[in-house]
Amino acid sequence: MPRKKAANQEALLTCSIRTRVTATVWNRLKKVMVKSDCQSMGELARKILSKEEIKCFYIDASLNTAMEELALIRKELKAIGHNINQLTKRYHSTPDESIKAFYTLKVAELYKVVDGKVDELLVIVSKLALKWLQR
């Protein structure tokens, strides 16, 4: 089964350019390609030749610990929310008032834990804000 033809035939890459570069230039382009949104050396070369914008992505290693803490807090909050949903479901399905009071106290305890986790989040976010929102 043949491949479908492209809708816009004029936008296809039909003309080829071949060139050779030194190993140092190749390595420099390779470094740019790894950090950029380009998937191949040809795509990078096309963007450079057509003066298109090349988006580069950088990773700040100092954020690793903060991101791990945030991910851990997110996981804990998700588990607490799941527990609160289960207790709420049991609360609404139980006709006995003493059991409802028990579930109410359990949910109150979980909300206190959530309050502590939110305080931790605020501390981490304020540290990140000091670092990234400098003027």
Residue type at 43 in one-letter notation: E
Q: Are residues 127 and 78 in the same domain?
A: yes
Q: Are residues 119 and 66 in the same domain?
A: yes
Q: Which domain range does residue 111 map to? A: 61-132
State residue 11's pLDDT score.
74
In a domain, 3, yes or no: no
- 3-state DSSP call for residue 15? coil
Cα gap 59→66, rounded to integer Å = 13
Q: Are residues 66 and 124 in the same domain?
A: yes
Q: What is the mean pLDDT of each run of 10 residues along the chain (135 residues)?
A: 77 82 94 90 91 85 82 93 94 92 93 92 87 70
What domain count does the chain have? 2
The neighbour count for residue 82, using CB atoms within 10 Å, is 10
In a domain, 55, yes or no: no
Cα gap 132→127, rounded to integer Å = 9
Alpha helices in 63-134 (DSSP H): 64-93, 97-132
Its pTM stands at: 0.55
Q: Are residues 24 and 86 in the same domain?
A: no
State residue 135's pLDDT score.
56
In a domain, 2, yes or no: no
